[in-house]
Structure 1
């Protein structure tokens, strides 16, 4: 459906998309989401030509589900490693059917010990098993062997590290925002006619107007005057007056990731947020942000988040600042390429540089759309950081917010929370307290007495057990007796249970289970759960077979006493 609700036009009935595998059988053209093609030449693999053709066919089949060239490149790298392994064998296989279990075992042993190796095993196995020749036989059985799941080594930042990275990004972006705001105010004064065209501010306003309309300051004619007027030829003195540089845009992306937990890939397709009315509130802005995360699975790529700017400390203030910093770039991009409405727009430093990352939106005139890996690398080097911060910043944000962000609850717990060393360290006291509580509960609901083979003289008989020492009762009465309920006898260390007690206790256990079916669950748990758990523990000590057989030996007396126990008539 189109945005206005009309059905999209269908292609002709005889339409066929481009075949990824070329006529020569060795070159696979992979299309990304934007429709750009990238060739992968399997003739470059150091294996026999029939094997090259087989892998090319499997690669082409698998490419139908990819939406980015990055996915294809990762698989290509794994296949290249596999091909080099095969080429180093004493007798390299000629084609897929020549792969023996021994070769596959050597390939497995080579990679199973490391996390990158297990990733390689998984990718290559998935591809090979698409071929019918690798779906039956001894080699197929070897391929089917389980590969241990790979755990990510990425950990969240410690609080001090997280704040240091965020401070670096905040300083750079804030400086850029102040620079753009100052020049924007001057530009608006010039456009409203407040400035004399002959004064310095008026001449500077004219230059800024030209910059806003074209993406650059005038470079000819009055160039020498403009250089003196602008204060130099460097980018902060020229086009940087109204546009973010690509490295400054990375700082903004780091801040957005730290605030909202967005992936780096989100920024290449993030539309400019739209302000929506805030009902009943004044002085606030609520933004509607459409987030696209393609790795969530089919039909779950898109989500809408509502973020409110209610003051300097609110999350929405960063959205407001991002819109202000990219305002001129977004307007110019919409004029040069109508329909362009992305938030993350910056100015290219080298306008004529070749665009090689086809997964990132193509530049529009002098403007760069989205964020590429080269931009992140330049940002990391400029600030002397140990690697890209995006994965660790996102993980830190997810861990701190204690809730899923653009992923499922199971992914949140399995991938982000449980493997995180910081969470594990911070949870030690909580886990220890929980274990102590569980132990205390188990002790409270466990059979506290001893099993005996027969009645021992001197022990007092109770309804549920024999008592080895009424005078040492944990619940003594003023006269020196025991004030505990007969149901609590089984929790006492003085209790002795012999086979003569088994029928009555098995009957009591059965009757408690029957009560559970007729009482509301909260009522049953509050009244009977503790006694039921204690009888469960005793049954485990006696043995399931003996416990079941004891039910056949119950007497009328047993039934009467159990009924009185459950009615509470035998309580002290």
Structure 2
């Protein structure tokens, strides 16, 4: 099985290596192949993740007494055992959701008990990533700023020397002149002139006059005069994270920002920054941001400095590979040692791009910190420094960055306490309270929307203790309130009727004023939305397809109020 990513590079997967029967291998390969298309999986990281989850799943199947030979032999009970086992492990949520999303596409698994089992959602685990404390984040930014600034000053100093050599300001043959000549060679080729037959390993083989002018053969006194090292590029990545909230994938693919043609009367450039966000899906990969360099503390100043620090490397890359136009460029010490990664921009000679995920922890260790700074740093920026979303939707920003962060929670204690009572009451009124069951209980009493487990002890007694709309019991609530009652039980027999009710209530929006609809039907609609979420789209769609004429008549009577009289 071959997967071509968006850059046209290929990754191969051998389904014959999976420990299951050949028919099941073929079925899984077909499901996998359907995703290996540009509008589904654009990067190898995605297909590799799914491949590893399939390996975990098929390993479980192979250990069964009677392993299934194909997907049509997968049973609900078998899948339930796997679900219970895998969700108890670290990373189990990812494994479960990946495998079920693939299997649901097979037509043989779209009906019967196995379909309902596959449609059940797993609880998403809470992220363990927390923001840095203010002091920790300050130390992080300071370490990155010191490293990158030192590199920038070094490159600017040597660029000035090169400019003076090009202007013939040095006496030919002097040490300064030879240094200028060496810098010119380095700026044009990315390397230094070496003795014939010598391998370009580090400083080995550099001609004597250049070694003398540079003061040695180490990278720090030779090619680093004009180019960033890997660790210095990582420091730049940390600063881009701290300033703009970019994650590693954005930093990796960040193209060179262009300054506006007219910088304005003050001469301060405004950069147009294109941002690529692959996880947003086809058609929504790109957005642009404009930032202005209007002083040392401005976001645009960092872009100006990044362009300056990478200008010599980018010039060589542009000459050798004109289609490559990335911002973060650094030079490797030894060519050919970097491991291949088909999702990242390939090296151009000794020059590499972006920041690899493995480099963050190495950089942190080098500056006396612990752990990669990128995930916690992005959490800090998005949860605390930036209250509005960066490259995410508002829902993702709130759910995955703000609401789960302990620093945010600690700072919001007063607000949370003030709104807790109101939020609890709102949730009680609008969220489904009825209990979901797989089958009816013979002892329950059927109502129009659910079954009642204790009709004689309703949370909604009628005025004066008389009988209400409940079927033979002491309940003063409308049948619509069954969805918000702790005594109510909902089983699959109710699903078609409730799906039709959801559709009918939604249709009332078009004939009622918004305020009237919200007052009369908003809570019911919210509970039905909650039920739909709990059951999943597959079960809900199937329920709508099984609505009977009796269900429609019953719902019509409920909507007109005739059923309660």
- Report the equivalent of 2:192: 217
Aligned position for 1:251: 235
Which region of structure 1 is more displaced relative to structure 2, 374-383 or 264-273? 374-383
For 2:163 and 2:351, how far apart are their aligned partners in 1? 22
Matched, 1:228 2:203: no
Structure 2: how far apart are the matches of 1:112 and 1:272?
A: 43
1:437 deviation in Å?
Answer: 9.9
Question: Which of 398, 405, 408 in structure 1 is aligned with 2:390?
Answer: 405
Gaps of 5+ in 2: 197-205, 425-462, 465-511, 516-565
Query: What is the 5 A alignment of 1:138-217?
Result: 138-217=113-192
Q: Which moved more, 1:319-328 or 1:425-434?
A: 425-434
* Structure 1 contact 357–372 (Cα < 8 Å) conserved: no
Alpha-carbon distance, 1:108 to partner? 0.6
The offset of 1:72, in angstroms, is 0.7
What does residue range 536-555 of structure 1 map to in structure 2 within 5 Å?
Answer: none
- Rounded to whole Å, the distance in 1 between the matches of 2:128 and 2:117 is 28
Q: CA deviation at 1:433?
A: 4.1
| Structure 1 residue aligned with 2:336 | 352
| 2:365 counterpart of 1:390 | no
Q: 1:343 to 1:103 in 2, by over 3 A?
A: same
Q: Encode CA deviations 1:415-472: one digit per residue, 9 max, x unaligned.
A: 2111111111110022234569999xxxxxxxxxxxx99xxxxxxxxxxxxxxxxxxx
Q: Distance in 1 between matches of 2:378 and 2:249?
A: 12
State how far apart, in whole Å, the 1-side matches of 2:361 and 2:382 are: 23
Residue in 1 that maps onto 2:255: 271
Which deviations, in whole Å up to 9, do the C-alpha atoms of 1:161-182 show, x marking residues without a partner? 1112212211211111111111
Does residue 429 of structure 1 match 2:402? no
- Alpha-carbon contact 1:30-1:69 (below 8 Å) kept: yes
Deviations 1:393-430 (A, max 9, x none): 11211121211101111222122111111111110022
Residues 287 and 316 in structure 1, CA contact (< 8 A), matched pair in contact too: yes
Check if 1:240 corresponds to 2:224. Answer: yes
Cα deviation digits, residues 262-287 of structure 1 (max 9, x gap): 12111232111111156654142211
Matched with 1:34 is 7
Residues 384 and 438 of structure 1: is their aligned pair in 2 closer, same or farther, counting only changes over 3 Å? closer
Which position in structure 2 is the counterpart of 1:376?
360
Give CA deviations for 1:75-115 in whole Å, capped at 9, x if unaligned. Answer: 11111111111122222222212212221111011122356
Query: 2:397, 2:367 → 1: CA distance?
Result: 30
Partners of 1:261 and 1:166 lie apart in 2 by 13
Equivalent pair of 2:361/2:373 in contact (CA under 8 Å): no
1:92 corresponds to? 67
CA distance in 1, matches of 2:22, 2:361: 38
**Greater mean deviation of Cα atoms: 204-213 or 229-238:** 229-238
Q: Work out the CA distance in 2 between the residues paired with 1:312 and 1:75.
A: 45
CA pair 437-361 structure 1, distance change in 2 beyond 3 A: closer
Counterpart CA distance in 1 for 2:153 and 2:82 is: 57
In the TM superposition, what are the counterparts of 1:26-65 in structure 2 within 5 Å? 28-64=1-37, 65=40
Which residue in the other structure is 1:488 paired with? Answer: none
User: How many positions carry a matched residue from both structures?
Assistant: 418
1:110-147 deviations in Å (ceiling 9; x for gaps): 12235611111110000111111111122222212221
Is contact 1:180–1:242 with CA below 8 Å preserved after alignment?
Answer: yes
Structure 1: tracts of 5 or more residues without a match: 1-27, 440-451, 454-516, 522-572
Distance (whole Å) between structure 2 residues aligned to residue 242 and residue 376 of structure 1: 23
Query: Which residue does 1:560 correspond to in 2?
Result: none
Q: Distance in 2 between matches of 1:372 and 1:389?
A: 12
1:327 counterpart SS class: helix
Cα distance in 2, alignment partners of residues 48 and 382 from structure 1: 49
Partner of 1:483: none
Q: In structure 1, what is the Cα distance between the partners aligned to 2:83 and 2:351?
A: 47
Give the CA deviation at 1:70. Answer: 0.4
Shift of 1:243: 0.4
State the SS of the aligned residue for 1:326: helix
Deviations 1:528-565 (A, max 9, x none): xxxxxxxxxxxxxxxxxxxxxxxxxxxxxxxxxxxxxx
Considering only aligned residues, what root-mean-square deviation do their CA atoms show, in Å?
2.5
User: Is contact 1:119–1:150 with CA below 8 Å preserved after alignment?
Assistant: no
Q: Is the 8 A contact 1:115 1:150 kept in 2?
A: no
Please say if residues 263 and 270 of structure 2, whose CA atoms lie closer than 8 Å, have aligned partners that are also in contact.
Answer: no
For residues 396 and 219 of structure 2, the distance between their equivalents in structure 1, rounded to whole angstroms, comes to 43
Q: Specify the alignment match of 2:403 in structure 1.
A: 418
- Taking structure 1 as reference, are residues 147 and 435 closer, same or farther at Cα in structure 2, changes over 3 Å only? closer
State the shift of 1:31 in Å: 0.7
Alpha-carbon distance, 1:345 to partner: 1.0
> 1:528-539 maps to which residues of 2 (within 5 A)?
none
